[in-house]
Amino acid sequence: MFIKFPKRSDCKESDVTPESLYLSRRTLLGASVAGLALGSLPRWASAAEAARYADVEAGNAPSWFAGKLPGTQWGAVTVKGEAITPYKDATHYNNFYEFGTDKGDPAQNAGSLKTEPWSVVVDGEVGKPGRYALEDFMKPYQLEERIYRLRCVEAWSMVIPWIGFPVSALLKQVEPTSKAKYIRFETLQDPKSMPGQRSGFALIDWPYVEGLRLDEAMNPLAILAVGMYGRELPNQNGAPLRLVVPWKYGFKSVKSIVRISLVEEQPKTTWQSIAADEYGFYANVNPTVDHPRWTQARERRLPSGLFSPNVRETQMFNGYSDEVASLYTGLDLRKNY
Ligand code: MTE
């Protein structure tokens, strides 16, 4: 399904990709054609579009993923005039507490996560509950590339090219009942492969849980991602299935989902349970509502360093006001942070 977004989000890949990356993409594309001739293609190149971006590491895509890529609508939504974050930063500066609390821990430790076979349970207030093997779960959906800003509550940000499908398409499939008011997502709980879940010091009451109001989930910007940078999701980024809600702080974008429930009551979410005065249910990006311990008026766009801090103004709803502001008409965003 193709969704026509307002003009602001409309642009070509060459508008958002730094020239060096854009040019190296062309070189890479050339190289992969040459590679085809020599029969020495990297594993992903024959099926995926990883060559669209520089320095993307070869993945190990399951056959269902590669099989769906040819129909993908590339560049369905983009970010105008902002460079895509280098792959290396997006995959080595992560929050995924199941694999440790340092930014480098997920890349180092998430190799232990077994993403095949994977199943997803859909339950609660739905006409069609069930447990689906991921390859069956994915069958109805056409993949789209969505290039979105990602803004963490910790005041850093990135621009990521995701591959996924709208949450609204899933809702159409599973048929929520009239009682369904919220959607709740749950991450895998597997202490054997997730060292953070074995730690006696973890603050989190596992599994990691997130949720959205049903009308938020229906917004066309909300997607379930299965890939990024033209390939399947690396484990540290939430393989094989994660939520992406670009107008909200990153902690709403729950990773490695195993259960999706339609519920009547607002779900108790992980960060809200840990510190309700710091992390609310809504978590909409908002430069005028500070975190109790730091300002949200500005953010560091990665990559950033001591001599190039790359600081920019935070945008209301992370720059997606046109698409989502109407969801919150009449709601006090200071109280409902
Ligand atoms: N999902 C799970 N299961 N566990 C986590 O610790 N961290 C969240 C979110 N999803 C987290 C999670 C936070 S705080 C952020 S900012 C984003 O994932 C980071 O996504 P990224 O590592 O792909 O940039």
- Ligand 1 site, residue 255, Cβ cutoff 6 A: yes
Q: Which of 253, 291, 299, 300 to mutate for ligand 1's pocket (most ligand atoms within 8 Å of CB)? A: 253
Among 229, 196, 183, 29, residue whose Cα is nearest residue 97: 196
CATH value at residue 164: 3.90.420.10
Which atom of ligand 1 approaches the CA of 106 most closely? 22
Residue 8 lies in a domain: no
254 a known binding residue?
yes
Q: pLDDT tens-digit profile of 147-202?
A: 999 999 999 999 999 999 999 999 999 999 999 999 999 999 999 999 999 988 88
- Distance between CA 296 and CA 314 in Å, rounded? 7
Question: Which residue's CA is minimally distant from atom 21 of ligand 1?
Answer: 94
- Ligand 1 site, residue 254, Cβ cutoff 6 A: yes
Return phi, psi of residue 124, to 5°.
Answer: 90, -140
- Distance between CA 31 and CA 290 in Å, rounded? 47
Q: Which two tokens stand for residue 294?
A: 């730091």
Q: pLDDT tens-digit profile of 74-117?
A: 999 999 999 999 999 999 999 999 999 999 999 999 999 999 99
12 a known binding residue?
no
CA Rg value for the chain: 19
Question: Which residue's CA is minimally distant from atom 12 of ligand 1?
Answer: 254
Residue 213 lies in a domain: yes
What SS3 class is residue 258? strand
**Sequence-distant (≥ 6) Cβ neighbours of residue 157 within 8 angstroms:** 149, 150, 151, 299, 300, 301, 302, 312, 318
Question: Which residue's CA is minimally distant from atom 22 of ligand 1?
Answer: 94
- Ligand 1 site, residue 95, Cβ cutoff 6 A: yes
Question: Which residue's CA is minimally distant from atom 24 of ligand 1?
Answer: 94
- Number of domains the chain contains: 1
Which atom of ligand 1 approaches the CA of 238 most closely? 23
CA 31–ligand 1 middle distance (angstroms):
34
Which atom of ligand 1 approaches the CA of 90 most closely? 24
Question: Which residue's CA is minimally distant from atom 4 of ligand 1?
Answer: 96
What is the structure's pLDDT at 49?
A: 67
C-beta separation of 283 from 153 below 8 A:
yes
- Ligand 1 site, residue 97, Cβ cutoff 6 A: yes
- Ligand 1 site, residue 152, Cβ cutoff 6 A: yes
What is the structure's pLDDT at 48?
A: 53
Residue 3 lies in a domain: no
Residue 133 lies in a domain: yes
Residue 73 lies in a domain: yes
Chain mean position to CA 209: 15
219 a known binding residue?
no
- Distance between CA 278 and CA 256 in Å, rounded? 24
Q: Which residue's entry shows tokens 């009551």? A: 265
Q: Work out the burial of residue 294: count CB atoms within 10 Å of its CB; fewer than 13 is exposed, 13-18 middle, 19 or more buried.
A: exposed
Under-50 pLDDT residues of the chain: 1-47
Residue 192 lies in a domain: yes
Residue 259 lies in a domain: yes
What SS3 class is residue 75? strand
Query: Which domain, by its residues, includes 184?
Result: 13-328
* HSE, side-chain direction, 13 A CA sphere, residue 58: 9
Q: Which of 154, 163, 251 to mutate for ligand 1's pocket (most ligand atoms within 8 Å of CB)? A: 251
- Distance between CA 176 and CA 170 in Å, rounded? 10
The string over 34-56, giving b where at least 16 C-beta atoms fall within 10 Å of a residue's C-beta and e elsewhere, is ebeeeeebbebbebbbbbbbbeb
Residue 333 lies in a domain: no
